[in-house]
A and B are shown apart, each in its own frame.
Chain A
Amino acid sequence: MSKLPKPAELAKVSYNNPATDWMDTPVEFKPGMYCHGSKPKSLEIVGFPNPRDWRPADADWKLPENWKEILIEGIADRLKKYRSFRLFMDICVRCGACADKCHFFIGTGDPKNMPVLRAELIRSVYRKEFTTAGKILGRMAGARDLTLDVLKEWWYYFYQCTECRRCSVFCPYGIDQAEITIIGRELLNLLGLNIEWIAGPVSNCYMKGNHLGLEPHTIVGNLEYMLDDIETVTGKRIKPSFNRKGAEILFVTPSGDLFADPGTYTCMGYLMLFEELGLDYTWSTYASEGGNFGFFTSNEMGKRLNSKIYAEAKRLGVKWILGGECGHMWRVLSQYMDTWNGPADFLEVPKSPITGTVFENAKSMKMVHIAEFTADLIKNNKLKLDPKRNDHLTVTWHDSCNVSRGMGMLEEPRYVLRNVVNNFVEMPEDTIREKTFCCGSGTGLNASEDMELRMKGGFPRANAAKFVHEHYGVNMLANVCAIDRATLKPLMDYWVPGVNVCGLHELVANAMIMKGEKERTTDLRGEPLPNVQAKEEKA
């Protein structure tokens, strides 16, 4: 309560007031702005250093004695390994073009959330340790010592960045804060400074094949429930196969789709689509995770988790791999997987068995995004669609950061969307496609304890959604990302009540007329279809 500003203080507002320099402003851990620290067990399982019980707000982080040395060596090592890192440490001119492009800065007003300053947190230490000017001139050259306060600042702010790459679109040198955050988090992990919301899923995924820690029989069981629901809606019983050798296609999707609503409706959409096509495909319980929280930990951990996908494809002897709707999963698959765990020369170039289309663009990594796959189906008239079934929805499209700025998949989902719904409205131009705003909860920040951070970070996205909600009656925010599906819902609940969230293939499945289905009266969520509603009203 003591923070109440006095009127006199308020009157003094002035741009020119000298503020404390950012280097002199130590980090303050504010509740709702950070996640719980990693638990020792989660680190032990994957062999990460310094497993121990610790709490971010505690003064003592129980660090190894030579923590500074470890970090400096870690930086040196990464400067040698990554040109991006080395270059981005040197070439920033601090023009400020990126400053107001970050959703976290817009939502928090905290200057250290400006991408340029987030990068300076590490750059200042780089100058001190790795440049002659910094060693001699110190603060004059923008250099500072690596202290415990600095380390805490790193932790706080590198876990307030979702690696969405929006800043990098606007930077005249293409400096990508995601790269710097990735490396910053790698460094923190050298000291066991992860968050449990990432470390837990990572250890789960390592041992059990997916982030949620679903064991093989649970995966089968969960899908059974969806199959029940599908039967209720369509009258058709689907029998998917698991871990089946000799299938043509391996299907991998984020495990969130198997478990939590509304991802499960998207998952039901996949099941129905594949059934309708008669696709020769299999699920895997071993490679049951498309997402990769390892990528939010370290390059090595990302690779360790990702290895399962090719390994399983090889073991099962499939021809190629189809991937479900996910954002960061596709950043990893599209820009990292083949490099990490390729060459996948035991697979064939993906070819749609339905249309015969060969996906030349995935010639080497052999994996196709389901939005690409479905767009091709629709283009070739392979699906019978009744978009009127989605007439109760006015849909807008949220471009997920990773598929937009780390892949460039912008038109495929839109093409699908236009064919399965009649009412599609775009959000304002500067908030979509390559300029899309993040959900504010990516990169493993979708815990509950940092809800305030998420609500602030997602504010620019919600604000755009609110605009189309108010002006065009948009009531559904569709996307191709499991984290979006899980986190945009609460975001909408807070900012734009009345807007729901769904995956693309939920809408596809709702519109798709299946062979031999009964007359549908509800959508996948069990809500009455618009024509049924109308009938009921007449009666």
Chain B
Amino acid sequence: MTLKEELKEKKSAIVQKWIDAALASYHKDAQGALRQTKAQFTNPAGFNLAQGLDGLFDALLEGVITDSVATFLDMTVRLRAVQDFAPSEALAFLIRIKQIVRDELGRERLDAPGVRTDLAAFDAAADDLMLYAFDLYMQCREKIYDIKAQEARSQTYRLLQKAQSIADKE
């Protein structure tokens, strides 16, 4: 069995652990609610996280991280970008996947022939994912500042319009 097949088989357990790793940064007593991942609309936080990580794991298995992960990454990062985490803390859960996969495989398998190379590819994909996430995180933060500036502008638009017309008249 290739590493990919094996990980595919263990997907649900791995993704669950990955969700746990992401939730670990929340208050312990809020996790119960966030862990409910089925309610797309009444509990979007848990739902999006689970769906996002599920999709990201598939992408990692393929070993290629492209723009196609954007949707899934968005589901996991956008909320965290406005929650009160340090940037490192907001994104740390993404690289935890490396450890989670290793734990799930067990020491013996890790030493098996071929696995090490396959795992290196997996790791490389995970690193790429982290880089994408970093970009997205920064986009989100910039968006927040942009929105603040926009808001100030739209609140004063009519004033500016007025000032402009006074200037025109003069």
Direct touch of chains A and B (CB < 8 A): yes
Chain A residues within CB distance 8 Å of chain B: 1, 3-5, 7, 9-10, 13, 15, 17, 19, 30-33, 99-101, 105-111, 221-222, 225, 259-261, 264, 428, 430-431, 448, 451-452, 455-456, 459-460, 463-464, 467, 486, 489-490, 493-495
| Nearest opposing residue in chain A for B141, CB measure | A452
Question: Which residues of B sit under 8 angstroms from A10, Cβ to Cβ?
Answer: 20-21, 24, 93, 96
For the complex formed, measure the closest distance between the CB of A21 and the CB atoms of chain B, giving whole angstroms: 10
For the complex formed, measure the closest distance between the CB of A97 and the CB atoms of chain B, giving whole angstroms: 12
Contacts known (A99-B33, A455-B82); A109 close to B27, Cβ less than 8 A: yes
Contacts known (A9-B24, A448-B148, A493-B147); A222 close to B158, Cβ less than 8 A: yes
B83 close to chain A: CB less than 8 A: yes
Within 8 A of A (CB), among B51-103: 78-79, 82-86, 88-89, 92-93, 96, 99
Contacts known (A30-B84, A259-B155, A451-B144); A463 close to B92, Cβ less than 8 A: no
Chain B residues within CB distance 8 Å of chain A: 20-21, 23-34, 36, 40-45, 48, 78-79, 82-86, 88-89, 92-93, 96, 99, 140, 143-144, 146-148, 150-152, 154-155, 157-158, 161-162
Question: In the bound complex, do residue A459 and residue B30 qualify as a contact, i.e. CB atoms below 8 Å apart?
Answer: no
How far is B29's CA from A337's CA once the two chains are assembled, in angstroms? 41
Question: Which residues of A sit under 8 angstroms from B27, Cβ to Cβ?
Answer: 19, 109-111
For the complex formed, measure the closest distance between the CB of A57 and the CB atoms of chain B, giving whole angstroms: 14
How far is B152's CA from A4's CA once the two chains are assembled, in angstroms? 34
A-B contact pairs, 6 of them (CB 8 A): A3-B86, A19-B29, A109-B26, A111-B30, A459-B44, A460-B42
B24, B45, B89, B162: most-surrounded residue (chain A CB, <10 A): B45
Question: Which residues of A sit under 8 angstroms from B155, Cβ to Cβ?
Answer: 259-260
Question: Which residues of A sit under 8 angstroms from B34, Cβ to Cβ?
Answer: 109
Contacts known (A105-B30, A109-B83, A490-B147); A459 close to B158, Cβ less than 8 A: no
Question: Which residues of B sit under 8 angstroms from A494, Cβ to Cβ?
Answer: 78, 82, 140, 143-144, 147
| Nearest opposing residue in chain B for A25, CB measure | B27
Question: Which residues of A sit under 8 angstroms from B20, Cβ to Cβ?
Answer: 10, 13
Question: Which residues of A sit under 8 angstroms from B152, Cβ to Cβ?
Answer: 448
| Nearest opposing residue in chain B for A6, CB measure | B92
How far is B143's CA from A451's CA once the two chains are assembled, in angstroms? 11
How far is B157's CA from A100's CA once the two chains are assembled, in angstroms? 39
For the complex formed, measure the closest distance between the CB of B102 and the CB atoms of chain A, giving whole angstroms: 11
Contacts known (A4-B88, A10-B21, A19-B27); A448 close to B43, Cβ less than 8 A: no
Contacts known (A452-B144, A493-B143); A107 close to B41, Cβ less than 8 A: no
Counting from the closest, the 10 A-B pairs by CB-CB distance are A463-B44, A109-B30, A30-B84, A109-B26, A490-B147, A455-B82, A452-B82, A428-B41, A19-B28, A3-B89
Question: Which residues of B sit under 8 angstroms from A111, Cβ to Cβ?
Answer: 27, 29-30
For the complex formed, measure the closest distance between the CB of A524 and the CB atoms of chain B, giving whole angstroms: 15
Question: In the bound complex, do residue A260 and residue B28 qualify as a contact, i.e. CB atoms below 8 Å apart?
Answer: no
